[in-house]
Structures are given as structure tokens and as C-alpha cells.
Structure 1
Amino acid sequence: MPDFYGTMVFIHVVSAMLSIGPLFILMPIIKRLRGVGRDIEGAYLSVINVIIRLVMHAGHVLVISGIILLLVGPWPWYTSWVVMTVIVMGVSAVFLATGFTRVLRVFNSPGTSKRKMLNRLNKTSWIYIGLMLIMLWLMVLKPNFW
């Protein structure tokens, strides 16, 4: 049986993959959503909502496993890469909660430009992917800032 720390690292890595990977599926969905009628639009929006929820819940597992790894692992919480990861994580959590939800909530509102909302959704996806990659870089390389 693998040790507890090794199991937690595995869970942490898998949850990191699930926090980033599904977002790349959004790009072709957003592209296809540009040319569909209202009848099919709902199906695509449902898929986007599922992807966002998967990313969000994987993020919860990522945070919990990260906290456990800090508690039982060799790095103290005040290590510079840990502090920077927590800061970027806070920004990305707020961004995920506000960026995607706000766009999806007003998508079908009267007077809303579909093209503008899809552009914003695409931009939000790339920014979130960038934030997640910064966190991944911090966790893998563990740079010493101070």
C-alpha cells in the first residue's frame, strides 16, 4: 500500500489536471456556439456549465489536498512559493466565480450581444488557464522569492 503522502501527491496532481484540462475543451465549444441557432445553444451552454463545475470541484480537491500536503510535508506554509501559490489561487478562485458565472448568467438576456459574450467567455477561459499554469509552475519548480 502506498504511503499517505504519496497518495496525497497523486490526488493533488490529478486534481490539478482536472482543474486545467477541461478548459481546453471550451475553445472548440465556444467556436461552434458562434454559429448555432437558439435551439442548439442551450445544449452547448449546458456542456460549458458542466465543464465549469468540473473545474470548480477539481479545484476544491486541489486546495484540500494541497493543505494536507503542507500539513504533512516538508515545506512550511510561509515558504515563498507557497505564499505566492495561495495568492494566485485566491485571484483565480475569485476570477472563476465571477468571470464565468457572470457571462453565463447574462448570455441569453435581452439586448446582450452573443458575439461579445462569447469573446468574453473565450478571454476569461484563457486568463484562467494562464493563472492555473502560473500556479502549476509555482508548485512544480518551487522558486525561492525571499
Structure 2
Amino acid sequence: MFWYDLLVFIHAVSAMVSIGPFFVLIPMLRKLHTAEGPLKASFLDSFHFVVRLSKHTGHVLVGSGLLLMWLGGWPWDTPWILGTFAVLVASLVFMARAFSPTIRKLRQEGSDRAPLLRKLTRSLYIYLTVLFIMLWMMITKPQFAFLTS
């Protein structure tokens, strides 16, 4: 059981690391409205770092989750696992389109900052909501009766 418990710990820590840093970005988004020059660049670099960190910890999260499924004997057709994977795929598609292109546009001189920051803010809150839905499914393991009847 030591290895299974260690994997549960790794899985939980990778979930925290993939979600937690996004909360630092909330106050940073407000400051981006007026930041210029090197300060603006450092905020955008921080935003880009958090997105990359989340991607890489997401790899650990998925890998450890698959190992936990295998070691724990969870079948693929378990409703909360299917739901988590469906939300995961949606979040990957969303993340690829939501953050990096907008950050690139914000780096360009003369870009209209206000609509880009609104888009980035909306994307951040949507992504956090999606992450919390996945976290909820992994913790509560709902059976989704409509899928099992």
C-alpha cells in the first residue's frame, strides 16, 4: 500500500500545483491594465509561467491518475472517471486557445489592451471553474445515476 499512498499524495500535490498558481494571476490581471514596459513584461512572463507550470503538473496529474486507476482497479467506464476525462479533454482544448494567443497579443505594441484583458480574465475564471469541476469529481466520485441506469 505504500506505493499507492505515495501515488495518491503525488496526485493530490500535482492537483494543488496545477490549480493554485492561477489565483496569483487574479490581482495581477488588475495591475496589467496600467503596467507598462518591464513591469508589463514581467506580469505577462508570470502569466505565461503559470500556464506552462499547469501544463506540466497536468502531465503528472494524468499519469498518476492513470496509475491510480490501474492499481486501484477502477474500470474505465466508472461514471466519475468518464466525466473527469471528458472535462479534461475540454480543458485542454480550452487552455490551448485561451491563454497563449492572448498573452502574445498583449505583448505586441499598440495592442488594444482592455478587450484582451477582459478575454484573459474571462478565460482565467472559466478555466478555474473547469479545474474545480474536475477536482470535485475526483474527490466526491459522483455516480451520475443517469449514466448508470
Runs of 4+ residues deviating >6 angstroms: none
**What's the Cα RMSD here?**
1.3
How many Å separate the matches in 2 of 1:97 and 1:7?
30
How many Å separate the matches in 1 of 2:71 and 2:38?
51
SS of residue paired to 2:74: coil
Deviation at 1:39, TM superposition (A): 3.5
How many Å separate the matches in 2 of 1:34 and 1:106?
14
Q: Which residue of 1 aligns with 2:111?
A: 112
How many Å separate the matches in 1 of 2:35 and 2:141?
45
Check if 1:126 corresponds to 2:120: no
Residue by residue, what CA displacement relative to the aligned partner does 1:95-130 show, whole Å, maximum 9, x if unpaired?
111110111122233553111111111111110100
Task: Write out aligned runs for 1:1-146 (5 A).
Answer: 3-109=2-108, 112-145=111-144, 146=148
Normalised by the length of structure 1, the TM-score is 0.94
How many residues align structurally? 145
- Aligned residues with identical type, % of pairs: 39
- Structure number having the greater helix percentage: 2
* Structure 2: gaps (5+ residues): none
How many Å separate the matches in 2 of 1:41 and 1:101?
15
Paired letter, 2:3: F
Paired letter, 2:77: Y
* Structure 1: gaps (5+ residues): none
